[in-house]
Amino acid sequence: MVVAVELLGIRSLSFAVGFYLSIATTLAIFCGGVVRWLAERRAKKAGGKVEESEVSPGSLYSSGLIAAGGIVGLAGMVIKVAEAKHWLPEGAISWGQKIPFLANSNLLSVIMFGVLAYSLYHFASKPLENDQK
C-alpha cells in the first residue's frame, strides 16, 4: 500500500498517520497543518522564503510540545500509581471536583488549545537566528 501511495506522490508518513489513527487524534494534526499554512502564508506576504525544512522554528517548537506532552503523561501515570499505593489521597489533583465549572465544561480545554495554536503560529512565523544573518 505504501508503494502505491508513494507512486501517487502522496507522502507515506502523512498517509499512514491518517490511516491508523482515529479522527479525534488526527484533528490536532490537521490543526497543526492549518497553523503551518497560516505561518507560511504570512511569510510569503512578508517576502520571506518558505522552504520545507526539518529545522524550522515551528518544527522545533512542535517537537518541544510533543516532548512536554509525553513528560506530562508520565507524570500523570506516576500520580495515578501514587494514588493506588495510597501515597496520595484519591483525586488529589482532580481540580474539576474543586472548581465545578471545570468539571462540566470543555471551554477551558478549547481556550488552552487556542492558546497553544496561537503560540505555535507565533513561533513558526519567527525566523531562526541563522536565517537573520
Look at the block and give the residue holding cell 506516576.
Answer: 78
Mean per-residue pLDDT of the chain: 81
Q: In one letter, which amino acid is 20?
A: Y
Contact status, residue 29 vs residue 118, Cβ threshold 8 Å? no
Mean pLDDT of 6-20: 77
Q: Where are the domains of the chain?
A: 2-132
The pLDDT assigned to 17 comes to: 72
Reported pTM: 0.66
DSSP string, the chain: -HHHHHHTT--HHHHHHHHHS-HHHHHHHHHHHHHHHHHHHHHHHTT------SS-HHHHHHHHHHHHHHHHHHHHHHHHHHHHTTSS-TTTT-HHHHSHHHHS-SHHHHHHHHHHHHHHHHHHHSPPHHHH-
pLDDT tens-place string over residues 25-82: 778 878 888 888 888 888 788 776 666 666 677 778 888 888 998 999 999 999 999 9
Residue 78's nearest CA partner among 68, 88, 69 is 88
